[in-house]
Amino acid sequence: MPKVEVLVAALGCVNGMDLYRRMKIETDAVIANQCGENSHFEYDAGGKCLKVISAMDRGVGKNRNLAIIHSTGDILVFADDDIVYKKGYARIIGEAFESLPKADAIVFNINDLNPRTKRADIITRIRKINITCALKYGIVQVAVRRSALLKANVWFSLLFGGGAPYCAGEDTLFIRQMLRAGLNIYTHPSVIADAPQETSTWFTGHNEAYFHDRGALLAALFPKMSLLFSIIYAFRYQDRTDEYTPWQIWRFLRRGIWSFKRGERFVP
């Protein structure tokens, strides 16, 4: 059975062991903690190894990359610090990879306990995914073979996500990079964790800033087709807000596209 390791992106974690227990982690884990100090501690968590790597840097991409650097497991599972894992999740993940030997990464179900953000895209079967359906999944659903990830040289963007120049999208870009690198990604209907998602560190509503940063994400995802996709998304986003027309949304998206292409926010 492959060794599963959980990589937690935390902000201001005071006690790593408390967080480890609260998340009900049963395996080795790396907590990449962004706080006011630089430190590295290792703990014995009931026979499992817990590493707490604290850094003064900001940005969720930097945090997740830091966790990858300090990882040693065969299978890496990405987590936020509000995730609560199901009992036996390591066995579920390990058996899934054993049953799918060609899989470099597997996307599992996460129970979203917040009715306002409840996931509509519940995985019901095993299948290989491509870029058209991969963008609807979050990184906390993903488990990946460490060897495949390092061989493909895939890392999280430093420009997108909480604490970065553009508010969100680092997980989408990460999955996109894995596919571009030729990694085989499959879905699996098993549930591995609950996600309360009571608050968001970046979402403040479907406002101009939100659509601007979505435009930047389109430019990063689809460099040659971003303007076309901005027209499509302007109408898709229309039902999320009563404040803006599709024309206004498209203008915000377009500004974000040109902002990214000019490199206007590339210095955090």
Identify the pLDDT of residue 194.
Answer: 94
Angle value at C-alpha 167, between 164 and 169, nearest 5 degrees: 100
DSSP per residue, 175-210: HHHHHHTT--EEEEEEEEEEE-----SS---SSHHH
List all residues 6 or more positions away from 125 whose beta carbon is below 8 Å from its beta carbon: 187, 189
Write the pLDDT tens digit of every residue in 8-57: 999 999 899 999 999 999 999 999 999 989 999 999 999 999 999 999 98
Which residue, chain included where needed, has tokens 């403040």?
204
What's the pLDDT score for residue 68? Answer: 98
pTM: 0.90
Q: What is the predicted pLDDT for the residue at 189?
A: 97
In whole angstroms, give the CA distance from residue 194 to residue 216: 30
Q: What is the pLDDT of residue 201?
A: 58
Asked whether 36 and 21 are in contact (CB, 8 A), the reply is no
What is d(CA 141, CA 161) in angstroms, rounded to the nearest whole number?
A: 16
Residues in the chain with pLDDT values less than 70: 114-120, 197-204, 266-268
23 alpha carbon, distance to own chain's centre = 17
How many H-runs (helices) and E-runs (strands) does the chain carry?
Answer: 9, 10
Cβ–Cβ contacts within 10 Å for residue 180, how many? 11
Report the pLDDT value the prediction gives residue 235, as an integer from 0 to 100: 87
Provide the CATH topology of domain 4-195.
Spore Coat Polysaccharide Biosynthesis Protein SpsA; Chain A (3.90.550)
